[in-house]
Amino acid sequence: MSDTSDHNKTHPPAKDVDHDGCASPPCLLGELDPVWQGGMDRDEIINLLNTLLEAERAGARGLTTMASEYEGDLQRELKTLALDEARWCAMLSTHIKRIGGTPTSVTGSFLEKLLAKPTLAARLSLLDRGQGWVVAKLEESLPRIFDAALQRDLTEMRDGHRGNIARAARLAS
């Protein structure tokens, strides 16, 4: 015969369970490892951030070089874009270190491809594609990142890139 008094020592009576307050198992998923919910694990996040860091470094260096080749408003705009890329590099490095990874020192091949373009229009066109790639990569990745601080900064980076695509388009026109 079961002893209900013992049972109740470890299991509260059903009437005490607050279903509205979400005591059901699905609600406890939030306390599980993000990977169980389709989130990226630490290594996947570090790989993603380092991939972005390589690309941003290439963008920052490419834009800095381009800015040195022009004057006036165009130079100012290119410098602004370069500073943004450098800011993302710093943000990405900070997060990589925070979660225990090592920021890559590699500069993406985008730099060579960019500077090999013979005209400003061709460079701006490639920059546009590069910025678009970053936006797409972030759009694809953000739903799988549950680290709130990282999600906030990567969202800002995505929105910043959208703004810079529009900015570069104005330069090209």
* Cβ–Cβ under 8 Å, residues 137 and 83: no
Sign, CA torsion 33/45/159/90: positive
Q: Pick the piece of the chain touching Fe ion (CB under 5 A) from 85-93, 94-102, 113-121, 140-148.
A: 85-93
Q: Pick the piece of the chain touching Fe ion (CB under 5 A) from 2-10, 15-23, 80-88, 113-121.
A: 80-88
* SS3 assignment for 46-102: HHHHHHHHHHHHHHHHHHHHHHHCCCHHHHHHHHHHHHHHHHHHHHHHHHHHHCCCC
* Cβ–Cβ under 8 Å, residues 84 and 160: yes
Token pair 């015969």: residue? 1
Q: Binding marks (x or -) toward Fe ion, 18..57, rule CB under 5 A?
A: --------------------------------------x-
State which residue, 39 or 64, has the beta carbon closest to Fe ion: 64
State which residue, 54 or 56, has the beta carbon closest to Fe ion: 56
The amino acid present at 51, given as its one-letter code, is T
Cβ burial of 92 (10 Å; 0-12, 13-18, 19+) is buried
59 binds Fe ion (CB under 5 A): yes
State which residue, 46 or 110, has the beta carbon closest to Fe ion: 110
108 binds Fe ion (CB under 5 A): no
State which residue, 29 or 166, has the beta carbon closest to Fe ion: 166
Q: Reduced to 3 states, what is the DSSP secondary structure of residue 2?
A: coil
Q: Binding marks (x or -) toward Fe ion, 124..153, rule CB under 5 A?
A: ----------x-------------------
State which residue, 40 or 111, has the beta carbon closest to Fe ion: 111
Query: What is the closest distance, in whole angstroms, from the C-beta atom of residue 26 to Fe ion in the complex?
Result: 38
Residues that bind Fe ion (CB under 5 A): 56, 59, 85, 134
